Amino acid sequence: MSLALDESAAPILEVREVAVHFSGLIAIASMSFAVPEGEIVSLIGPNGAGKTTAFNVITGFLKPTGGRVLFRGTDLTRLSSNRIAGLGVVRTFQRTSIFAGCTVFDNVLTGMHRQGRAETWGALLRLASVRAETGRMRAAAAEILAFVGLSHRAGELAGNLAYGEQRLLGIAIALAADPKLLLLDEPAAGLNPSETEAFMGVVQRIRDRGVTILLVEHDMRMVMTISDRVVVLNHGRIIAEGPPEVIRANPDVIQAYLGQGVKHAKG
Amino acid sequence: MTARLLPWLFVLVMAVGPLWLGDQYILYVLTSTGIFIIGAMSLNLLLGYTGQLSLGHIAFFGIGAYTSALLSLGFDLDLGGAEPFVLGPQPVWVAFLGGILVAALFGFLIGKLAFRVRGAYFVIVTISFAQVMRMVALNWVDLTEGPMALNNIPPLSVWLPWDGVIPLYRKEYNYLLVLAVAVVCFLVIQRLVQSRVGRALVALRENESLARSVGIDVTRYLVVATVIAAGMAGAAGGLYTHYIRIVDPDVFMFIYTVTMVIMVVTGGKGTLAGPIVGGLAFGILPEVLREVARPEVQWIIYGVAMIVVVFFLPQGIVPAVRNWFAGRRKRVAATALGLRKETSA
């Protein structure tokens, strides 16, 4: 698969020949793709194709067996996950991931960790700079909650939210970390159609704020509607890459998803 | 407003009440309970806020106690070199601070270790750590006097405008000193947990992967918490050693860690007031029971009380009381709303 991009946009993320082996089992054989800045790129493929593994490699939760991941030229494969987040590469999780025992507001405030400077001594002495910072962060957290539409739940314990609201909160926490590149791992999983509809709006508005998005999603309507570019993985290899309309017509993709039988059905 | 004043009112009552009662026995009970409450507060920072169960917490207490005792008595250390290292007696407050520092240093090492081994393994490592400390205290007779204990430890001293510098032999002064240190520790923990640092600690407890994914350096904050908790436990140990004025290897006994865990869990882990409420309840209960029941029965009642609290209030006393008040406020608000609807209809 070539790295060359036909579009003019410079890639914010480049995955180069990444391989992941779990003691003999090959999760990703060799994967290369690029994410242009400012776009929504979807990574799709059947279950077990290696999508979440790819996310784990990019965000430093898993060290690849080989290959490199470049974020604006910096190799991420050597960095710890919190350092990678500090560079502006932030992910959400496939399973709902929130700080269940904290209030919704504190969840977002915790997500803003990297934007604060206050350390132990500043906190103990309640320095003026620390108090000013707290004020700024609280205002920004309120703004993020309003953005995803959870302001009315700010004081509620996160664990008490409805499922769809928890998914939204997961995005709010990731947004609070001020991402340049946001990786969403099946954000619409388990949502009903109207919730998915609302979710697509949120994802598009995040892109409009200048955040590049890499999306893993099974809801094909969502993928085909909002993506600028789609990368298709199967058995740990990239089998197709391009704009949604091209991918939809690609016979390899149809075969990977629906199997051989589709030919007979069509014929 | 009342919520802000309430803690200070509590401190005032605790400062004046027992002195006004003037009973030496009550003062003794409250002082030793207060020392344990400081230990429990420091344990709560780890157990309640970062979610790490250290069952060797008494080690930091004991290290603080021994270090402070040794520095104030002076010691000579023969490590097999040509000349033994000799240190004369140091001023008590220097010794006290030294105890805090050495305990904090061990906290640093354990905090670093906590990230290599987690969960059940960490619990085992911390228990072993406390046991090893007990063995060292028991067997390094040249330094610690072993089972013969360190005796004649000088009390802490204080400068008073009307008396000058006086050693604190009297129970009243020791009691007030423990109360003052407890207040300082409470404020340190309060400011810490309500800050960005505290949110990072809670994030580690609630969801470590998510914490890392938003860029929180969990290793670092766990070490910060362990260092502060260990230093505080060391301060409690220093207070103990200069109050009781004798320290033997039994300070490292496992039962003392358990006592602190009981205080934290029954009071409400991860709450500021929890260790104080739990500490007062389970620190004073044995003394109250001593008046009314035979020794065997005392421990049965103690155990039953503990099981009842944990069974019916699994979150602890403080969260239960808080929820009860919140629930009542909601019900009152709901009734008021219902009335308004009725009148408008």
Q: What is the tens place of the pLDDT at every residue in A124-155?
A: 888 888 888 888 999 999 999 999 989 999 99
- Residue burial A110-128, b: 16+ Cβ < 10 Å; e: rest: bbbbbebebebebbbeeee
Query: Under an 8 A CB cutoff, do A118 and B203 touch?
Result: no
B306 pLDDT more than 90: no
- Are A58 and A77 spatial neighbours (Cβ–Cβ below 8 Å)? no
Q: What is the DSSP letter of A115?
A: G
When pLDDT is averaged across residues A203-218 and rounded to a whole number, the result is 92
Q: How far is B194 from chain A (nearest CA, A)?
A: 8
Q: How far is A167 from chain B (nearest CA, A)?
A: 13
Residue listed under structure tokens 């510098």 = B165
When pLDDT is averaged across residues B226-248 and rounded to a whole number, the result is 94
Q: What is the tens place of the pLDDT at every residue in A211-238?
A: 999 999 888 888 999 999 999 988 878 8
ipTM reported for the complex, 2 dp: 0.84
Task: Give A99's contacts in chain B (Cβ within 8 Å).
Answer: 202-203, 206-207, 210
Q: What is the tens place of the pLDDT at every residue in B167-201?
A: 878 888 889 899 999 999 999 999 999 899 999 99
A264 pLDDT more than 60: no
Q: What is the tens place of the pLDDT at every residue in B3-30?
A: 778 888 888 888 887 778 778 888 888 9
- The type of residue at B142 is D
For B6, the token pair is: 């309430």
User: How many contacts, defined by CB atoms under 8 Å, are there between A and B?
Assistant: 101
Greater model confidence, A89 or B294: A89
Instruction: Indicate the SS3 state at residue B89.
Output: coil
Q: Which residue of A61, A99, A113 is in closest CB contact with B215?
A: A113
Q: Can you give the residue ranges of every domain in chain B? A: 18-314
Query: Under an 8 A CB cutoff, do B203 and A123 touch?
Result: no
Query: Under an 8 A CB cutoff, do A119 and B203 touch?
Result: no
Predicted TM-score (pTM) of the model is 0.86
- Are B213 and A181 spatial neighbours (Cβ–Cβ below 8 Å)? no
- B293 Cβ neighbours under 8 A, 6+ residues apart: B301
Q: What is the DSSP letter of A113?
A: G
